[in-house]
Structure 1
């Protein structure tokens, strides 16, 4: 049954970086419900921040309400049903961003990436649009769960360019899917199976584009509080130049604690009996 509350630790952090004048990323988490949303806006002086705010707040608010209501209906927590609801909510967010932009010339062309997840039990259901990523770290090995929706990734997957081709740098930031366009975006969706000890990292390209995967893997193995690790990762991106906004969500899958048992009445009496003084 997909209705168990997650046993997790969660932290998030967003930083302007060292170059940008404004932080156009948005991050929202609810550890109790196992919900996280991360968006990386783009387009104009205020358009990017506006787009990421509209999309992330709409998704977060709607899914938070949906999750609270569905706790009384555990049969509706089947992964396929949850993923379908997440995709529908993200499509509605796309419409809201596009409609807002079409009414204001100053916001024309604004858009945002978005990666979001819901953790229940030892499952993580994920939707993503753009190049904001989700990684899983397990036993020292880091795996990128999401796929970058960029022109570079498309040319690579279709065999037009090799990974070491210098022209790849030209297309790595050209998005092929984004929230905020008239057409429906291609929404990636994933059902990720987790186990105790796993660590998840969701991040904008301000982190993944500045810090190598090997360095990320090393950092994610550190046994330290998630808030401290979040600060460490942001510092690593800033030390690499801090050319973009840096945002991340960290999640640890905790080892389930055995349920407490209530001693039987006679056992309790024996344990608490006063010794006979006669």
Structure 2
């Protein structure tokens, strides 16, 4: 496996509230994390950074994850711990009241990837079956689309498209959606904040991910396209490539 993480402030924001990274545990498995923070007075920064820091520490202390059941249990247990930590911090620090963050995380082994998410940061998989979004946005407009009240096209421009129905740290208890997919050499995962998914079409994502570039160049190209299309939000992504490092560019 090979992985890259990249974040960019975008063209309109004064600071970056996104965070995340790709971390390795004792068995050489990856945990990829993207967190898009929210809240006044820079509290979004606090929420996303706390999420990244705590998950990184938990993961680096973790032994091998041998099955999807173990991976799903790990994500649920540790994201719950992070949620409790964020919620307590927001209740005990006035400047952090109401803070929260989206979270999309993927445990990556040579046989499978287990994805957990809360909010509207996404995970896509590129494999022999094509390119597929693996997560479902916990957002108001997505619920309107699912109920037939709004078309997918209109949802992209809806004035309340940023309203989340679920976020990490905003409530004492939280539900994490989890899903596992089998992987083979050549498959790729793309995790990203809505600063990317709102600005880059799925076809462009596929074109760039399958281009003859290094992983780092692919990440930068995706960010460049998001900025070319306005860059109104912070842009963050992680790409995991299921190849031996010796076989990848």
In structure 2, the partner of 1:13 is 6
Q: Secondary structure at the match of 1:222?
A: coil
In structure 1, the partner of 2:41 is 45
1:68-90 C-alpha deviation (Å, 9 max, x unpaired): xx23xxxx622212211211110
For residues 76-95 of structure 1, the aligned pairs below 5 Å read: 77-95=66-84
- Structure 1 stretch displaced more, 164-173 or 8-17: 164-173
Shift of 1:165: 4.0
CA distance in 1, matches of 2:223, 2:156: 28
- Structure 1 stretch displaced more, 183-192 or 48-57: 183-192
Shift of 1:224: 1.3
With the length of structure 1 as denominator, give the TM-score of the two structures: 0.82
Q: Secondary structure at the match of 2:230?
A: coil
1:28-51 C-alpha deviation (Å, 9 max, x unpaired): 212532111111100113100000
Q: Which runs of 5+ in 1 are unaligned?
A: 1-7, 258-278
Q: Which runs of 5+ in 2 are unaligned?
A: none
- Given candidates 15, 31, 34, the residue that maps to 1:35 is 31
Contact kept? 2:191, 2:238, Cα under 8 Å: yes
With the length of structure 2 as denominator, give the TM-score of the two structures: 0.91
Larger Rg, first or second structure (1 or 2): 1
- Structure 1 stretch displaced more, 109-118 or 183-192: 183-192
In structure 2, the partner of 1:148 is 137
CA distance in 2, matches of 1:82, 1:118: 7
- Given candidates 192, 206, 211, the residue that maps to 1:203 is 192
Contact kept? 1:118, 1:126, Cα under 8 Å: yes
Q: Secondary structure at the match of 1:174?
A: coil
CA distance in 2, matches of 1:81, 1:200: 20
In structure 2, the partner of 1:268 is none
Q: What is the CA RMSD across the aligned residues, in angstroms? A: 1.9
CA distance in 2, matches of 1:198, 1:167: 28
CA distance in 1, matches of 2:192, 2:186: 20
Shift of 1:163: 2.4
CA distance in 1, matches of 2:122, 2:155: 23
- Structure 1 stretch displaced more, 155-164 or 105-114: 155-164
In structure 2, the partner of 1:187 is 176
CA distance in 1, matches of 2:239, 2:67: 25
